[in-house]
């Protein structure tokens, strides 16, 4: 059972590491090539005086930070020793922390996308609803796919702690 758990953890962590690394790349690029470009005279972004631009930068920074945190959690899983006692607390904690970080990263990436779209298309509020629906869709899909796994991990950790405490 430990071997099967190790294989599942490694496969899941590898897949999530790839997703996290892609988000890191995208969000780093978005921070450097801001919407609207830079002012030729000053070199500063064109939209620095707009409140939406501040939201864009903050959401981008959150997404970058949380995707980096998720990749580090998943790398911690990949480099773990996979002893039986690691399956009681260490590995499930890293996996749940990594999945939650990845969720926050995806959600803030979609916020960044929406805000960037609004900055680039001023005066077109009729585009807000389709953009928001498109942005919510991947978040919803991720929650639907990952929440059963996350709940199972959390249940197993709580159950393992109760067994460990009672013995």
CA distances from 58 to 16, 17, 28, 52 (A): 23, 23, 12, 10
Residue 13 counted as domain residue: yes
Residue 44 counted as domain residue: no
- pLDDT at 42 exceeding the cut of 90: no
Residue 87 counted as domain residue: yes
Residue 109 counted as domain residue: yes
Q: Please state the domain count of the chain.
A: 1
CA 107 from centre of chain: 7
- pLDDT at 16 exceeding the cut of 60: yes
Check residues 65 and 126 and name the one with the higher pLDDT.
65
- pLDDT at 167 exceeding the cut of 70: no
| Per-residue tokens: 160 | 């393992």
- Of 97-101, 116-120, 158-162, the one with minimum mean pLDDT is 158-162
Mean pLDDT of 87-95: 84
- pLDDT at 162 exceeding the cut of 80: no
Highest mean pLDDT out of 64-68, 116-120, 148-152: 64-68
Interacting residues of 30 by C-beta distance below 8 A, sequence separation 6+? 60, 112, 116
Residue 102 counted as domain residue: yes
Burial 98-114 (b: 16+ CB within 10 A, else e): bbbbbbbbbbbbbbbbb
Check residues 9 and 154 and name the one with the higher pLDDT.
9
Span between the terminal Cα atoms of the chain, in Å = 22
Q: Which domain holds residue 144?
A: 2-34+50-166
Instruction: Check which CATH number belongs to the domain holding 19 and give it.
Output: 1.20.140
Highest mean pLDDT out of 25-34, 88-97, 146-155: 25-34
Give the whole-angstrom CA distance, residue 151 versus residue 153: 5
pTM of the model: 0.83
| Per-residue tokens: 144 | 């639907």
């Amino acid at each position: 059972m430990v071997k099967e758990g190790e294989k599942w953890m490694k496969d899941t962590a590898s897949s999530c590491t790839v997703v996290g690394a892609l988000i890191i790349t995208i969000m780093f690029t978005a921070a450097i090539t801001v919407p609207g470009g830079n002012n030729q005279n000053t070199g500063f972004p064109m939209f620095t005086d707009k409140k939406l631009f501040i939201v864009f930068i903050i959401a981008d920074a959150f997404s970058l930070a949380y995707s980096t945190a998720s990749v580090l959690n998943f790398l911690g899983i990949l480099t773990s020793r996979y002893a039986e006692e690691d399956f009681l607390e260490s590995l499930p904690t890293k996996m749940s922390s990594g999945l939650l970080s990845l969720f926050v990263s995806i959600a803030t990436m979609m916020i960044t996308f929406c805000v960037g779209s609004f900055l680039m298309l001023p005066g077109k509020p009729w585009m807000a609803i389709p953009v928001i629906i498109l942005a919510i869709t991947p978040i919803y899909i991720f929650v639907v796919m990952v929440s059963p796994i996350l709940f199972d991990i959390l249940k197993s950790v709580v159950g393992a702690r109760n067994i460990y405490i009672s013995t």
